[in-house]
Amino acid sequence: MNRWKIAFFTLSGMVAAGFAGVLFLLGSTGTSEPLPSTEVIEDGDANLLTVRTTKKDFEGIANTYIREAMKGEKLPVQMKVKDDVILYSELTVFSFTLPVVMHFDPIVQKDGNLILKQSSMELGQLNIPPSTVLKVLRDSVKLPSWMIVRPKEEELFIDLSKVPVAKDVSVRAKSFNLEKDEILLEVSILKK
């Protein structure tokens, strides 16, 4: 057999094996990280302040804290708050950079943290399951420690209790009504 044929078939086999490996990795969602337990602050232990904000202000605050958590690194995601919460990012696959647009519905937890439940997503022109995109995002993009990607559940958990606001100050979500452009946050300042 000609050595060019051997080289061609060897290279074709390696490309096919690499492609199959990537498809396998993309197809498995893996295990999701369990939600962290949060510290409940009793009303008598802290002074509480309720803050009413708009979608635009919340968006600015969220992007500022994401930028601060990244400490000068390239911003991995950008948040927009419209009729839903939208995260913009980029993923590099086979040397191609693809824009990723993920739409989430916000759900306020009893402990004041926020779950962003994925409602739809766009990854260039590709038709890939949302759980796979979230898995790739989790594995390839460095997010702040208080943003936990849970691919199997198709959600993003925002641990507001871990957002570094200031010493002895924490934030909890009270309500998240995007239709009325009203977001209520509760700021707790521990008593000394």
- How much is the pTM? 0.73
* pLDDT higher than threshold 70 for residue 21: no
125 vs 117, more confident:
117
For 128-137, the pLDDT digits (tens) are 777 877 887 7
Residues 6+ apart with CB under 8 A from 95: none
Most confident of 42-46, 94-98, 150-154: 150-154
Distance linking the first and last C-alpha atoms of the chain? 83
- Between CA 139 and CA 79 the distance in angstroms is 19
- List the domain boundaries for the chain: 46-190
Q: Find the range with the poorest average confidence among 11-20, 50-59, 68-77.
A: 11-20
For 66-89, the pLDDT digits (tens) are 888 877 677 678 889 999 999 888
Query: What's the token pair of residue 57?
Result: 């202000």
33 vs 169, more confident:
169
